Amino acid sequence: MVGVRDTLKSEAERISIDKHTRADELRRELTLHDEARAKLRADLDNNAAAGSRVYTYKPIVEGVAQCPRCWMLHGRQEPMLDQGSIEEGSSLKCRACGLQVSSGS
């Protein structure tokens, strides 16, 4: 009977180790899912906020063109470099994100 007892005990220990290892793997997966969830939540919040930022966007502040991308995506006013006169249909470029637009478009 001792042989059976030892065999059963060894099997129980093996199962315990396997399940403990699986529990560790599941904890790691949950951590990854929590991190992904947090990133998705931040993206969701930012996108929802961007949708309402259109109502507060000011294309010109104190005579300086402002980047629509920086405002819509990040809520930041960033000046755009004027490559000439806006009235003449010049090109504008954002210093921060690199967005380039033609004032005639």
pLDDT of residue 49: 87
**Domain containing 45: what range?**
1-53
Indicate whether 87 pLDDT > 60.
no
Q: Are residues 85 and 103 in the same domain?
A: yes
pLDDT digits (tens, 9 = 90+) for 33-79: 999 999 999 999 988 888 889 999 999 999 999 999 999 988 999 99
SS3 of 60, please? strand
Query: Is the distance from CB of 96 to CB of 70 less than 8 angstroms?
Result: yes
pLDDT of residue 64: 92
pLDDT of residue 11: 97
User: Could you tell me the pTM of the whole model?
Assistant: 0.57
What is the total count of domains within the chain? 2
Q: How far is CA 31 from CA 6, 18, 23, 44, 102, in A?
A: 37, 20, 12, 20, 46
Indicate whether 28 pLDDT > 80.
yes
37: which 2 tokens?
Answer: 């969830």
**Strand residue runs (E) in the chain:** 60-61, 64-65, 80-82, 91-94, 100-102
The rounded mean pLDDT for the chain is: 90
Q: Are residues 11 and 31 in the same domain?
A: yes
Among residues 10, 37, 53, which one ends one of the domains? 53
